[in-house]
Amino acid sequence: MTTILLYDSGMGGLTIYDAVRERFPNARYLYCLDNAFFPYSEKSTPLLIERAEKIVGRLAEQFTIDMAVVACNTASTVVLPALRAKFAFPVVGTVPAIKPAAKLSQTKVIGLLATKGTVERAYVKELIEKYAQDCIVEKIGSTALVEMAEQKQQTGKLDLARLANEIKPWQKNTALDTVILGCTHFPLVKEELQQLLPQVKYFVDPAEGIANRVASLLPDVDDEQAENLAFCTQRPIDFEQKEKVLKDWGFSRLIQLDV
């Protein structure tokens, strides 16, 4: 069987999983939420690398993994070289979709909505310099929005006023026509963002591009199927609620992973 591992600090990475699963419905999926260290947004580079190696390494001991996807923008900006040096299977990262956003924008004013950790990374600055030299790139780094997206995913509720406060600098920017959803959690609140930013024509997330990248590195998936499994790195207070959400996304159960 073909086994694809995805991990994130929370459940936002499920947006990437969903796009990959649509491309490869017969693969076996392992998903790990590193909730013991949620959110990753302001964690240090050494800690992010340490967590990446521990999580991927522990699951690689238990399963034969064919592909690993770092389903988190913040982690992907720093952990990919270490993972690729340590493991033989392909490792795909998730980075803000700056290149396609710059191509889409008609006004050449684009917004990068990401975590505080992501907007400050040198890697992201390099992407902007390389692909969006002809654009004005407005940045908002928000940890609170990650938490709001997780809450909506589990309860179906979102504080619209709180969300509006997070993106307040953009609400009167009539030139802004493209927003990059630079965190895998943020597509979960895309509908509300569209309500609050009616001038924005394009909301760009990396999920489809990641699925394309996985397909280019993993062209063949066998038909042998096995149950999809989800893992957490500490038992959450709302374990049953999280497990229910994960079951709705196609995972048979939620297991605590000792890392």
Catalytic residue among 32, 135, 183, 232: 183
Residues 35 and 72 in one domain: yes
Residues 123 and 165 in one domain: yes
Q: What is the mean pLDDT of residues 67-90?
A: 95
- Are 240 and 216 within 8 A, CB to CB? no
183 as an active site residue: the answer is yes
- Whether the link from the prior residue into 39 is cis, omega within 30° of 0, is yes
Q: What is the mean pLDDT of residues 96-111?
A: 95
Residues 167 and 132 in one domain: yes
H-helix or E-strand containing 232? strand 229-232
Tokens of 240: 């049953």
Residues 90 and 139 in one domain: no
Domain that holds residue 79: 3-94+208-256
Would you say residue 222 has pLDDT above 80? no
Q: What is the pLDDT of residues 130-157, one digit of tens each?
A: 999 999 999 999 989 999 998 898 888 8
Q: What is the pLDDT of residues 152-197, one digit of tens each?
A: 988 888 999 999 999 999 999 999 999 999 999 999 999 999 999 9
* C-alpha angle 36-37-42 in degrees, rounded to nearest 5: 165
Catalytic residue among 32, 72, 135, 232: 72
Question: Residues within the annotated binding site for substrate?
Answer: 8-9, 40-41, 73-74, 184-185
Question: Quick one: DSSP state of residue 193?
Answer: H
- CATH code where residue 20 lies: 3.40.50.1860
Tokens of 47: 């800690």
Residues 46 and 145 in one domain: no
Number of domains in the chain: 2
Q: Which residue has the tokens 């950790």?
A: 117
- Are 145 and 113 within 8 A, CB to CB? yes
- What's the pLDDT at 46? 96
Would you say residue 223 has pLDDT above 70? no
Express as a percent the part of the chain with pLDDT over 70: 99
Closest CA to 76 of 99, 55, 94: 94
Residues 9 and 90 in one domain: yes
Would you say residue 224 has pLDDT above 80? no
Q: Where are the beta strands (DSSP E) in 56-215?
A: 67-70, 91-92, 109-114, 136-141, 178-181, 202-204
Taking all residues of the chain, what is their mean pLDDT, rounded to a whole number? 93
**d(C-alpha 212, C-alpha 186), whole Å:** 20
Q: What is the pLDDT of residues 234-245, one digit of tens each?
A: 998 989 999 999
- Are 31 and 251 within 8 A, CB to CB? yes
